[in-house]
Structure 1
Amino acid sequence: MDDYRKIQLLEIDKKIEETKLLLSDPQMSELAKEELTNLEIQKRDILATYENTVEAATTEDLDQRNVILEISGAAGGDEATLWGKEILRMYTRFAETKGFKVEVLDEDVIKISGNDAFEHFKYEAGVHRVQRIPATEKRGRVHTSTATVSVLPELEDIDLHINPADVSFEAFRAGGHGGQNVNKVSSAVRIVHKPSGIIVTSRTERSQLQNREIAMELLRAKLWEIEVEQRHEEIAGLKSTQVGRGSRSEKIRTYNFPQDRLTDHRINKSWSNLEKILDGDMGKMINDLRKNLDN
């Protein structure tokens, strides 16, 4: 829940407790009862608005937005890191075939902009497992590695307000992107969100202000992800375990190179020609997922 609503609810709860003390006063009891009724209605309205907002934010409301993809190697060491980069390349290639704009926000984080961008990638969140013989494997053994994908909508401050007092900013010298000039000043930005402990960085731009804006964009998206996961646990009527949105821990897909087969475990369907799919030919798979998972 965003900070503004939390403050509203805390203030209402405080007023409720104060008003209850007046119930024992014969001269104030009737007014106190009326005030308690009004306060309870206010509280219910805030909670109802919040639930409706979150539910809308997990359905069609987000489909037309731009999307942020964060890919990180999980189990498997160096091979997992390489696998994560291959998935990133697959998404980039597919986005380019759709005419979307691809921007690098940070290492292994990209933003894809275009009509219905989020809708195309919303079922990619989760754990992607690969089974193959690594190039460094001399005995021909099949190794299993995983990469984790987070799919986040691009949000504005109006969508999810962050209390400025809850974040700390740190500027540092960037490295690895933008050539030598980017290292001459402290243009990179690191943001820490104190309540959640989330840390985000941005170093791709030469301007500290631009990197700060990108980092705040990433922070809003990550806080949204946490919010939605919490609400899915709290509201039984929503899809459990984020099927369709994909929680980061959900094992959604296996890429089996020896058998040239990709299997999505949510719909129990497989596709062949892995090389072509990893080169960005994801259209058939995405359409099949949308047919089976869209409600």
Structure 2
Amino acid sequence: MLQKLEFIKERWQEVERELSSPDVMGDMKRYAQLNKEYKDLSRIVEEYHIYSNIVSNIETNKSLLSTEKDDEMREMIKIDLDELLEQQEIIENKIRLMLIPQDPEDSKHAIVEIRGGTGGDEAALFAGDLYRMYTRYCERRGWKMEVVDVTEGSAGGYKEVVFNVLADDSYGQLKYESGVHRVQRVPDTETQGRVHTSAASVVVLPEADEFDVQISMNDVRKDLFCSSGPGGQSVNTTYSAVRLTHLPTGIVAQCQDQKSQLKNFDKAFGVLRSRVYELELAKKLEEESKKRKTMVATGDRSAKVRTYNYPQGRVTEHRIGLTIYNLPNVMNGDIQEIIDQLQLAENAEKMKEGTVA
């Protein structure tokens, strides 16, 4: 491990030198890539310094133990050595996790799309519940959210809601939420008290920037229409809502959240760019899944990932067989435990495959 860490430190020093190079500073794309790599390597190098210091102290104590004759001193050295060996094991496990190759998209902001699925009005209500759950989760994390587009359900909730999470590493946390979420409960419209099953789909995309994908406006059709929903006098009178269609792929993105047509265009274009970028990521995920079958991050939107059972007050995460009997708290945004367990399962899977030496 020390040899691998020494190599990482050398790369860190090399990146540090490159960042101060005039050629790199003049190339914003290259500079952004190197700056991201430098920050990622810095975390590992910091732990490496701690680890190498512990290893050095262990060697010193072993050397002292081999020469020391005084029993009291030998006992003190042994106690110190045992503590150091325990610290070594802890930090080695920590570093092994850090050495697992990270998805380069994980550090990006997230775009979250929630759509009501089977179940009619109840599905739209459930989509609204999921939106509230993610809103509360983002509040707990101190993350800023920004609504892009909303289509309300006839009985409440949302047929569709799209929002940005403007926080570093938010995609790396929320990407596990992609898939079909199922709810089992008695709908408000049910007079017989029967439990119904409804579903909503969640899609989480990494926010693509201009360096990730280039889109020519010659390939984009722009349509303007009147906003709908709350918003004052401009609603249904001003053509401020924007719908963008990427002609080569047929991908559509729209935004009507802002009164300004320009602001709506910027938001819609950001979503469009991320959806086009996701096409390339989907190809990459498909290639990777042929090499290894992961139980967690398959990227399959049609997969049923989680069930929320109201009569029993439980949440079941199907990918890892996790069941939590704390439904009210989960629906109030307490989903970090589920995300942590999914991350742990994926990391364990990678380590089992020998990704980390």
Distance in 2 between residues matched to 1:60 and 1:231, nearest whole Å:
12
Name the counterpart of 1:281: 334
Q: How does 1:225-264 map to 2 (within 5 A)?
A: 225-236=278-289, 240=293, 243-244=296-297, 246-264=299-317
Q: How does 1:80-99 map to 2 (within 5 A)?
A: 80-99=123-142
Alignment of 1:140 with 2:193, yes or no, is: yes
Distance in 1 between residues matched to 2:266 and 2:294, nearest whole Å:
31
Name the counterpart of 2:220: 167
Q: Report the Cα offset of residue 253 of structure 1.
A: 0.8
8 A contact 1:255–1:263 mirrored in 2: yes
Name the counterpart of 1:62: 105
SS of match in other structure, 1:61: coil
Q: Report the Cα offset of residue 244 of structure 1.
A: 1.4
SS of match in other structure, 1:281: coil
SS of match in other structure, 1:259: coil
CA distance 1:236–1:251, shift in 2 (3 Å) = closer
1:47-66 Cα offsets, whole Å, 9 max, x none, are xxxxxxxxxxx943122211
8 A contact 1:177–1:203 mirrored in 2: no
Q: How does 1:180-259 map to 2 (within 5 A)?
A: 180-236=233-289, 240=293, 243-244=296-297, 246-259=299-312
- Choose between structure 1 and 2 for higher RCO, CA contacts under 8 A separated by at least 6 residues: 1
Name the counterpart of 2:323: 270
What TM-score does the superposition give when structure 1 sets the normalisation length? 0.76
SS of match in other structure, 2:104: helix
Q: Report the Cα offset of residue 98 of structure 1.
A: 0.6
Name the counterpart of 2:114: 71
Q: Which runs of 5+ in 2 are unaligned?
A: 1-100, 151-160, 351-357
8 A contact 1:191–1:201 mirrored in 2: yes
Identity within the alignment, %: 43
What TM-score does the superposition give when structure 2 sets the normalisation length? 0.63
8 A contact 1:122–1:245 mirrored in 2: no
1:145-204 Cα offsets, whole Å, 9 max, x none, are 010000011111220112322210011111214222344421110111112222211011
Alignment of 1:151 with 2:151, yes or no, is: no
Which structure carries more helix by proportion? Answer: 2
Distance in 2 between residues matched to 1:150 and 1:180, nearest whole Å:
33
Name the counterpart of 1:41: none
8 A contact 1:192–1:200 mirrored in 2: yes
Distance in 2 between residues matched to 1:263 and 1:277, nearest whole Å:
11
Larger Cα Rg: Structure 1 or Structure 2?
Answer: 2
Alignment of 1:121 with 2:202, yes or no, is: no
SS of match in other structure, 2:323: strand
8 A contact 1:65–1:116 mirrored in 2: yes
SS of match in other structure, 2:243: strand
| AA partner of residue 273 (structure 1) | N
Distance in 2 between residues matched to 1:235 and 1:110, nearest whole Å:
28
Name the counterpart of 1:50: none
1:9-33 Cα offsets, whole Å, 9 max, x none, are xxxxxxxxxxxxxxxxxxxxxxxxx
| AA partner of residue 65 (structure 1) | K
Name the counterpart of 1:35: none
Q: Which runs of 5+ in 1 are unaligned?
A: 1-57
| AA partner of residue 204 (structure 2) | V
CA distance 1:177–1:264, shift in 2 (3 Å) = same
SS of match in other structure, 2:277: helix
8 A contact 2:285–2:298 mirrored in 1: no
8 A contact 1:232–1:239 mirrored in 2: no
CA distance 1:81–1:141, shift in 2 (3 Å) = same
CA distance 1:238–1:193, shift in 2 (3 Å) = farther
| AA partner of residue 131 (structure 1) | Q
Name the counterpart of 2:13: none
8 A contact 2:116–2:199 mirrored in 1: yes
Deviates more, 1:280-289 or 1:70-79: 280-289
Distance in 2 between residues matched to 1:254 and 1:178, nearest whole Å:
35
8 A contact 1:125–1:245 mirrored in 2: no
Detail structure 1 runs of 4+ shifted over 6 Å in the superposition: none
